[in-house]
Amino acid sequence: DKKAIDDNAEILKGKIVLDIGCGTGILSIFAAKAGAKHVYGIEFADIADYAKEIVKENNLSDKITIIKAKVEDVDLPVKKVDIIISEWMGYFLIYESMLDTVLYARDKWLNKDGYIFPDRARIFLSSIEDEEYRHNKIESWNNVYGFDMSCIRNTALAEPLIDITNPENVNSTISKVFDIDLYTVTKEELDFSAGFELTFTRDDKCHAIATWFDVIFQKVPNKVVLPTGPFEEPTHWRQVMFYLNKEIKVKKGEVLKGNIAAIKDKGNYRFIDVKIGFHFADNKGDWCQLYKIT
């Protein structure tokens, strides 16, 4: 976000900026330093109290106003804003559903020709080999000091791993399964379903489906991409891995076809329920698995 602001400072000059979920206020500060006329930072958590103090200590109280409230409860002192900035992304991009709030702010306050930072988001997936983790986290429940605890295995399978994927573990092509434009997407479209097709790049084993995302600052004069995949520098978002309930041996050129669906959990809107269907060639079976990102 800092690079996108710095590289596009000319479009912030003299503009009214809204920072959604401003946290410590760091993006608000970047925007003010880039020349924004005024920045309104909204944060519901107690860190808003620190943000107010940080703004004051950095002599920016005339440029930045921190508002401690839910976005939906705020009455801004301006009718419209020129730019909305927000680091709304969670694990698997949409975990915690903060994007809903950004879209609410977009519809209520953003000028017709305004900007959203970032304004495009995509989710990708691939196959990975990860025998060590699968054995330690999942198969180990079959024998714990000689006792059968395999009933816990299904629970372990339903919990995706959020961690850094070794790029050498990726053993297939990559498929894009989600692609949204923040200027036009609706809240309902954040629940998604998409097909995918992966071609294996070597003789190996498929243990899991790894997912990651990128966000793009696309409409601005100087386009910026923030990637979070296994072939990039690690970020705190890492990758999310969904482990198969069985190990599958695969050959180079073999194809895995499937479908992935993700919806907000009905019991806790911050959680994501994910269903992945698998279809391997060579009579290796068709099945689907349910997961929950918590």
**CB neighbours of residue 246 within 10 Å:** 13
Catalytic annotation present for 197 = no
The active-site residue out of 43, 87, 129, 254 is 87
The active-site residue out of 96, 139, 159, 247 is 96
Which residues are the active-site residues?
Answer: 87, 96
